[in-house]
């Protein structure tokens, strides 16, 4: 499958070299060998050294100092393309949400939905964890991040009682991390890290999913009603419905379970915060359309029938098997994931956020991650941002570690954060 993709990509590049790049197509950047001019009504805009894209606008008149490299600055008076189609939104080039995951409360959670409550390790020094407070303060003040995703196991929040109420003692510990996040002025994503399961049960060799032989929609809704009621009045909280559902037998039925969570959140009083909707196949950006997740989740609405604040939640790693377990990166994900998804989102007036992405602290990941981030910036009308994986309680040897080092006189970022992810 990877070989077929590579051949197809070379063909596309060859064709692009003999034509103009389309609206929102790539037109320059390190290693780019395709077209460097854009179709009528678009101008090639350089996001950074790694990526230039055709955006709506008109090129400046030629002059003796004008660049012909295909990476000129956007016009100061952009206009929509000459077309009979509806006006196309112009990306701002600035992502709304940028930051990192703060791991620890998800420790002990496996992809089969088993979460060992005693294994949760708060990334806060008062609980003998990492200095999560110092990390977040550094990320905000020194790196320009404004968002932290805070994964936690369902079992921890209800103290292992499926369908039970929020356990106030455990929730108070988790809330310490949430309040530490909020104290930095950042946005904080509540992420239930259970893979659409509870304790790994199977039935006739098939996974038991929420609403599909596993926990009921009512039990899932009860969890989210309890969480949302705690933060209903805080506009800086985002609700991540579920981390990485996978091997979901019926995506339409999964959308009904997501609907139950959305309704519970809104009816708990959290009427304006963003809610992040995850799809099948580890909510992969590359298969979000093809596996039916986009179409099914498009049917999820607020109680009033609107879709305001309902954002698709997607993930994408850059290693060869998209597992996020290998140090080297092999793709920027643009051709097979982000470009098709951007087209779909724009056509259907939806938006997405990339809440898990990452790579090793090596040169290949710097190259491809910088390209991926630049593409998302170039399409910021449909991509709201990213949170890298991961900081918090990971040790320095963790392959995808983004934990900064406290030198005593300040913090030093990992190579990937310093090169591609930080905003300052």
Q: What DSSP character marks residue 414?
A: -
pLDDT in tens, 251-302: 999 999 999 999 999 999 999 999 999 999 999 999 999 999 999 999 999 9
Q: How many helices (H) and strands (E) does the chain have?
A: 11, 15
Give ∠ CA 103-98-414 in degrees, rounded to 5: 60
The C-alpha atoms of residue 406 and residue 396 are separated, in whole angstroms, by 12
pLDDT level of residue 202 (50, 70, 90 thresholds) = confident
Question: With contact defined as beta carbons under 8 Å apart, do 48 and 370 qualify?
Answer: yes
The C-alpha atoms of residue 323 and residue 257 are separated, in whole angstroms, by 26
Tokens of 281: 């196949």
pLDDT level of residue 424 (50, 70, 90 thresholds) = confident
The C-alpha atoms of residue 235 and residue 178 are separated, in whole angstroms, by 13
Of 131-135, 199-203, 204-208, 362-366, the one with minimum mean pLDDT is: 204-208
Q: What is the pTM of this model?
A: 0.83
Residue of 356, 377, 402, 418 marked active site: 356
The C-alpha atoms of residue 209 and residue 193 are separated, in whole angstroms, by 14
267 is catalytic: no
356 is catalytic: yes
The C-alpha atoms of residue 142 and residue 365 are separated, in whole angstroms, by 22
Residue of 141, 168, 244, 418 marked active site: 244
Sort strands 352-357 and 383-392 into parallel, antiparallel or unpaired: parallel
Tokens of 253: 């039925």
pLDDT level of residue 53 (50, 70, 90 thresholds) = confident
Tokens of 29: 């950047």
CA of residue 179 relative to chain centroid, distance: 22
Q: H-helix or E-strand containing 283? A: helix 280-283
Across-strand partners of 213? 209
């Amino acid at each position: 499958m990877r070989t077929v993709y590579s051949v197809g990509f070379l063909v596309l590049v060859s064709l692009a070299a003999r034509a103009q790049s389309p609206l929102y197509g790539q037109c320059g950047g390190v290693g780019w060998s395709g077209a460097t001019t854009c179709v009528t009504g678009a101008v090639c805009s350089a996001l950074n050294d790694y990526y230039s894209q055709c955006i709506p606008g008109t090129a400046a008149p030629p002059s003796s100092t004008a660049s012909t490299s295909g990476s000129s600055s956007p016009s100061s008076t952009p206009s929509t393309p000459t077309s009979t189609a509806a006006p196309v939104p112009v990306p701002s080039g600035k992502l709304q949400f940028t930051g990192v995951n703060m791991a620890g409360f998800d420790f002990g959670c496996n992809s089969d939905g088993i979460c060992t409550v005693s294994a949760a390790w708060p990334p806060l020094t008062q609980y003998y964890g990492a200095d999560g407070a110092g990390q977040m303060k550094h990320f905000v003040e020194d790196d320009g991040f404004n968002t932290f995703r805070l994964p936690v196991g369902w079992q921890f929040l209800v103290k292992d009682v499926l369908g039970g109420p929020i356990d106030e003692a455990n929730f108070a510990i988790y809330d310490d991390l949430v309040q530490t996040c909020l104290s930095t002025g950042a946005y904080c994503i509540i992420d239930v890290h259970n893979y659409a399961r509870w304790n790994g049960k199977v039935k006739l060799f098939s996974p038991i999913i929420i609403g599909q032989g596993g926990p009921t929609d009512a039990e899932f809704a009860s969890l989210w009603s309890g969480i949302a009621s705690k933060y209903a009045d805080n506009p800086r909280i985002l609700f991540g419905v579920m981390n990485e559902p996978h091997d979901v037998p019926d995506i339409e039925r999964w959308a009904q379970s997501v609907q139950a969570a959305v309704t519970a959140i809104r009816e708990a009083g959290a009427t304006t915060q963003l809610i992040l909707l995850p799809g099948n196949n580890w909510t992969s950006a590359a298969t979000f359309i093809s596996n039916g997740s986009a179409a099914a989740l498009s049917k999820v609405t607020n109680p009033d029938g609107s879709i305001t604040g309902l954002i698709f939640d997607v993930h994408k790693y850059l290693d060869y098997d998209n597992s996020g377990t290998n140090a080297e990166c092999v793709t920027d994900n643009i051709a097979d994931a982000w470009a098709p998804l951007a087209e779909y989102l724009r056509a259907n007036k939806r938006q997405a956020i990339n809440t898990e992405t990452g790579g090793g602290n090596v040169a290949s990941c710097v190259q491809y991650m910088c390209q991926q981030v630049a593409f998302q910036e170039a399409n910021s009308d449909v991509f709201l941002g990213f949170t890298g994986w991961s900081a918090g309680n990971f040790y320095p040897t963790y392959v995808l570690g983004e934990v900064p080092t406290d030198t005593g006189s300040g913090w030093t970022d990992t190579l990937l954060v310093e090169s591609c992810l930080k905003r300052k």
